[in-house]
Structure 1
């Protein structure tokens, strides 16, 4: 995930944008930081989803085929 310093900076810029406003340079920085955060969040979330295994009450694997395909296509998968 993002470093604590970057998260703190995102929060600082968000607070300032609501109170005093941001300069054009700060708005650009805020936009870049938000994009970086969202990119890392999406990547992490996708990785979590690809590690999910769905099991029915009988104990049978009923993982959707689309998830199985994504797991097989992921070169970072460690099975």
Structure 2
């Protein structure tokens, strides 16, 4: 993931200075998609592992 972020940043800097070719623009879009997909997957995993205290208290009472 660090390589993807580094490449996205490199392409973004280049875009701000000299511009990107069509291939570089497509590469940047693909890398951004990969990054966001990975971020969403990790975030969903974190959300799925959250346990609510109220749920655990209800289980103890029953």
TM above 0.5, one fold?
yes
TM-score normalised by the chain length of structure 1: 0.65
What is the CA deviation profile of residues 5-40 of structure 1, one whole-angstrom value per residue up to 9, with x for unaligned ones? 221101100111112111100000000000000000
Aligned length, in residue pairs: 57
Unaligned 5+ residue runs, structure 2?
none
In 2, Cα distance between equivalents of 1:31 and 1:60: 46
Alignment of 1:1-79 (within 5 A): 2=1, 4-56=2-54, 60=57
Greater relative contact order (Cα < 8 A, sep 6+):
2
Post-superposition shift, 1:60? 2.2
TM-score normalised by the chain length of structure 2: 0.81
Unaligned 5+ residue runs, structure 1?
62-79
